[in-house]
A and B are shown apart, each in its own frame.
Chain A
Amino acid sequence: MLTLIVAAKGGGVLIPATVGLAGLGAIFGLALAIASKKFKVEIDPRIEQITELLPKANCGACGFAGCSAYAEALVKGAMELGVCSPSSSEATARIAELLGKEASAREKKVAFLHCAGGKVSRRRFVYDGIATCAAANLIGGGNLGCEFGCTAFYDCVRACPFGAIEIDEIGMPYVNPRTCTGCGICVKVCPRYLFELVPANKTIFVACSNPERGKFVRLVCDIGCIGCTKCVKVCKLEAIEMREGLAVIHHEKCTMCGDCIPVCPKKIIHNFAEPHVAQRPTAEEAA
């Protein structure tokens, strides 16, 4: 100690500086090492392992703040397995193995958008407000002629944590069934409830949500269901039902035969596994 002071007084600062800093470092290092032992918080190692297996998108589909919070709830037994819709079945099985539970088989679901018109629909007035679907929908029931269709301000595109919703050539959201994990966020975000979670292997559906009579649908949109019931008649399995003026395909009964696709005069029965635009009617066909 004394020699250090003498050395410092002598003008040389290199030695006291080095020794001092090294000493400080050593003291703090030691103190931290002891503290980390003493204040160690016991964490179940499975929490980290399960978090690793989860998709780590923190999408919140399970109702927890993030994947690690969900993993913690799983380990504590406060939560059922399989609530995480984005995780693959293999990952779920491995998590079940870690927890010593049976994994319930859960089929993959994807979101479908029940509207093909959107921007095609007539506009009732010019909307220049806040550019979100939620805001646009609040003003006079939205500026679309169709009160049921997509407002095309892309709340769903922004909300999707997996980037699975693209905007196609005519400005409609398109859910890519390969990247969609079925977390259901778009279902909640869409102010008009146009998304539906359906089994990933049943991709034929009616891309319209307007239940009004054909005449009124025609007034507002060229590609909407006019309630002609042609698809209902052609379906051998009685999987298609008329709900008011709108044809609805029941996915439990559908076998994906595709018979209904060509008969639709408005071409709004789509096979979603293929890109949306290709199946859209041209202007002449629609008119």
Chain B
Amino acid sequence: MFAIVIGMVFVNNFVFARFLGLCPYMGLTKEMSSAIGMGMAVIFVMTIASIATYPLYSYFLLPFGVERVLRTASFILVIAALVQFIEMLLQKVNPALYKAMGIYLPIITTNCTILGVTVLNIDTFVKDGKAQPGGLVGSAVQGFSAGVGFTLAMILMSSVRERMEMADIPKPLRGIPIAFITAALMSMAFLGFSGLIKQ
């Protein structure tokens, strides 16, 4: 379990090692506050999505033999519906939390990181067409730590970019180009974590 957490946060970080979720990584890291808000929302949705899709796969798709054709479509359907439902619930039950997180929820329903982590759960915890014991808990932990890894990347990037606003950067590199260069350097730095755990 510990290996899963370390693996998802550092070694196989979704942004730095798998290059998923680059759209919010570039788009929402201009300010620390929006980066943190997005990160929290991603942690939340990833955990929920992992818990929801793993049983769906192992108890519905596998027995009916449709796991190959329906995996992506049904996962997206489930995640989108779930997030929509949570958004409604949040708006009713906790308007303060909704104001803080609400705007990020619809953005991430169809984000590739969410689908990525659910598919990864299946790859990790379903072997030879059989659900492994402890898969549900494992999926939840994996989803959560993937979200933590994403949030870490967002916070690191936004703190660098906030400082770059004030730096004297050559004109052709200002804005997105320098952000891409920074992202590349950062993911190279994160390569240093590879080999920390056995794959």
Q: Which residues of A contact B (CB under 8 A)?
A: 4-5, 8-9, 13, 16-17, 20-21, 24-25, 28-29, 31-32, 35-36, 39-41, 130
B4 in the interface (beta carbon within 8 A): no
Known: A24-B78, A25-B77, A32-B81. A17 touches B66 (CB 8 A): yes
Taking a contact as CB atoms under 8 Å apart, the answer to whether A35 and B64 are in contact is: no
Partner of A16, one of B66, B89, B95: B66
Q: Which residue of A lies closest to B166 (CB)?
A: A130
Encode contact with A along B77-95: 1 for CB under 8 Å, 0 otherwise. Answer: 1100100110011011001
Chain B residues with Cβ under 8 A from A41's Cβ? 91-92, 95
A92 to B92, CA, bound (A): 31
Taking a contact as CB atoms under 8 Å apart, the answer to whether A8 and B65 are in contact is: yes
Q: When A and B form their complex, what is the total count of cross-chain residue pairs whose Cβ atoms lie within 8 Å?
A: 55
Taking a contact as CB atoms under 8 Å apart, the answer to whether A20 and B66 are in contact is: yes
B180 in the interface (beta carbon within 8 A): no
- Cβ of B169 to closest chain A Cβ, rounded Å: 11
- Having A8-B64, A36-B88, one finds 12 other A-B pairs with CB under 8 Å, namely A5-B63, A13-B69, A20-B60, A20-B74, A21-B70, A21-B74, A24-B78, A28-B78, A32-B81, A32-B84, A35-B85, A39-B88
- Cβ of B88 to closest chain A Cβ, rounded Å: 4
Partner of B74, one of A13, A24, A31: A24
A82 to B168, CA, bound (A): 42
B97 in the interface (beta carbon within 8 A): no
Chain A residues with Cβ under 8 A from B65's Cβ? 8-9, 13, 16
Nearest 6 A/B pairs, CB to CB: A28-B81, A8-B65, A39-B92, A39-B88, A17-B66, A17-B69
B1 in the interface (beta carbon within 8 A): no
Chain B contacts with A in 77-131, Cβ cutoff 8 A: 77-78, 81, 84-85, 88-89, 91-92, 95
B23 in the interface (beta carbon within 8 A): no
**29 residue pairs A–B, Cβ–Cβ below 8 Å:** A8-B64, A8-B65, A8-B66, A9-B65, A13-B65, A13-B68, A13-B69, A16-B65, A16-B66, A17-B66, A17-B69, A17-B70, A20-B61, A20-B64, A20-B66, A20-B74, A21-B73, A25-B77, A28-B77, A28-B78, A28-B81, A29-B81, A31-B81, A31-B85, A32-B84, A32-B85, A39-B91, A41-B92, A41-B95
